[in-house]
Amino acid sequence: MAKTRKTRLLSIVILAAGQGKRMASSLPKVLQPLAGKPLLQHVLETARSLDPVALYVVYGHGGESVRAAFADQRVEWILQAEQKGTGHAVQQAMPTIPEDHQVLVLYGDVPLLRAETLRGLIALASEKQLALLTVKLADPAGYGRVVRDRRGQVKAIVEHKDATRAQLALNEGNTGVLVAPAARLRGWLSRLKTNNAQGEFYLTDVIAMAVKDRVAVVAIPADTESEVLGVNDRLQLSQLEAALRHARATELMRTGVTLADPARFDQRGELVAGRDVFIDVNVVFEGRVQLGDRVRIGPHCVLRDVSIGAGTEVKANSMLDGAEVGPDCAIGPFARLRPGTKLAAGAHVGNFVEVKNSSLGSGSKANHLTYLGDATVGANVNVGAGTITCNYDGVNKSRTVIEDGVFIGSGSMLVAPVTIAADATIGAGSTITDDAPAGKLTLARSRQVTIEGWKRPARKPR
């Protein structure tokens, strides 16, 4: 009977102490946004998906803003008061890591590493084997080089500034990501020296130590270069943004979504889409967005934390935030749905209409230049152009109720709290301050007056 391999407990150390001077920003590097989230947030989410026993973040002196940004997350914070290199950073976390753990080292400015890649790396590590993630580079300048012997076995990693001309010709770069047994790693870290071009304790030096101690080093390359790219300046940040955008667009199109232009698609959160969905150019998705079958999104829209039912069309330049939209609705162009908006099947919200904390029943329409705030609108209601629910008195917000079948004439002001009963008609230009009865026409207009002899003011001739 074959022996089953014992699963070792995992501790993850994320190095996030870099100052990021080349970012030219008052914001710490790991807090720079990528697809709407801090760089470090991407790394933390990937790390948590690996089910570690403990998660350590090594931060630098003055990095209290990093801790504050993640105050609600379960993280062991480790201060590296003096930045003496990557090896020194990992040393700071080791005192609290048990001897029988595997240690995975990640970086707070390398946000696109996939969990699948890391699981494969972890599976290769053992008490007698160190696993190292490398990358084949078109331009390896600046990267440490992976040096192999004639049999292809890893011998060492040489940093770019310390490499010979022959070593600089190598195109296999070190990503810095490794998995090692904690007991062994602790010993290797204690033996690190600073006799190198930068006068730092290099984590990469543990590779040569492992080889010397006859611990096998297994190196596997990442699938793509973009997966292991780090961020040192805003140009690199923009390159990662483009890489992530491309990856998400590719994944989405493989599920059956049509993108008018994948290069002009921006997903900054979780997007779930049904079949035959069409997304036009320059649409931004934030938070969690769910699109039903056959949904069409026009150009230049922003959708944040919304669900949209099958067959609905969102026309150009509309903004939807915190809304629930039913099937077969029509929205926009230039519409705004704010948090708390709920549209039932077949509802229409047209150009320059704003809806906030309100519900529209099935078949109801507000097609032009209207504000519906704190309103409950029934089914088959027609809201004329220029209608406003006056819901705020400067202190309190009150609700407007418009029951089924109501017709609201254009230019009407509905002063809440007020109820317009079923099948009522409100004459155009009315200001309604009292409840309107069902099935009747209600008007609230002052008498039209023409002032004889009145003249418009004129400028005096110069």
Whether 368 is a known active-site residue: answer: yes
- To 10 degrees, what angle do helices 182-190 and 86-93 make? 130
CATH superfamily to which 253-442 belongs: Hexapeptide repeat proteins (2.160.10.10)
Could you read off the pLDDT of 333-353 as tens digits, one per residue?
A: 999 999 999 999 999 999 999
Specify the pLDDT at position 276. Answer: 97
pLDDT of 111 higher than 60: yes
Q: How far apart are CA 17 and CA 355, in angstroms?
A: 45
1 — pLDDT class (breaks 50, 70, 90): very low
Specify the pLDDT at position 2. Answer: 45
Arithmetic mean of pLDDT, 184-190: 95
Residue labelled with tokens 């026409």: 441
Cβ-Cβ contacts under 8 Å for 396 (sequence gap 6 or more) = none
Angle in degrees, CA 140, 141, 143, rounded to 5 = 70
Arithmetic mean of pLDDT, 413-424: 98
Q: How far apart are CA 29 and CA 20, in angstroms?
A: 5
Which of 166, 176, 118, 106 lies closest to 144 in space, CA to CA?
176
The residues spanned by each domain of the chain are 9-228, 253-442
Could you read off the pLDDT of 263-283 as tens digits, one per residue?
A: 999 999 999 999 999 999 999
pLDDT of 443 higher than 90: yes
Task: Name residue 253's amino acid.
Answer: M
Arithmetic mean of pLDDT, 130-148: 90
Contact between 118 and 50 under an 8 Å Cβ cutoff? The reply is yes
187: its two tokens: 């010993």
Predicted TM-score of the model (pTM) = 0.85
Please provide the distance, in angstroms rounded to a whole number, between the alpha carbons at the two ends of the chain: 109
Could you read off the pLDDT of 39-84 as tens digits, one per residue?
A: 999 999 999 999 999 999 999 877 889 999 999 999 999 999 888 9
Specify the pLDDT at position 3. Answer: 45
Arithmetic mean of pLDDT, 122-133: 93
Specify the pLDDT at position 7. Answer: 62
Rounded to the nearest angstrom, the gap between the alpha carbon of residue 421 and the centroid of all alpha carbons in its chain is 44
pLDDT of 94 higher than 90: yes
290: its two tokens: 């769910």
Q: How far apart are CA 50 and CA 119, in angstroms?
A: 7
Please, which residues bridge with residue 355 across strands? 337, 372
pLDDT of 317 higher than 60: yes
Comparing 140-154, 170-184, 370-384, which segment has the lowest mean pLDDT? 140-154
Arithmetic mean of pLDDT, 306-316: 98
Cβ-Cβ contacts under 8 Å for 322 (sequence gap 6 or more) = 304, 305, 306, 337, 338, 339, 340, 341
Could you read off the pLDDT of 381-417 as tens digits, one per residue?
A: 999 999 999 999 999 999 999 999 999 999 999 999 9
Specify the pLDDT at position 4. Answer: 44
Contact between 408 and 390 under an 8 Å Cβ cutoff? The reply is no
Catalytic-labelled residue, pool 160, 246, 300, 368? 368
Could you read off the pLDDT of 444-460 as tens digits, one per residue?
A: 988 889 999 999 888 88
Q: Are strands 54-60 and 375-377 parallel, antiparallel or unpaired?
A: unpaired
Specify the pLDDT at position 235. Answer: 94
Task: Name residue 166's amino acid.
Answer: A
Domain 9-228 -> CATH class: alpha beta
Specify the pLDDT at position 295. Answer: 98
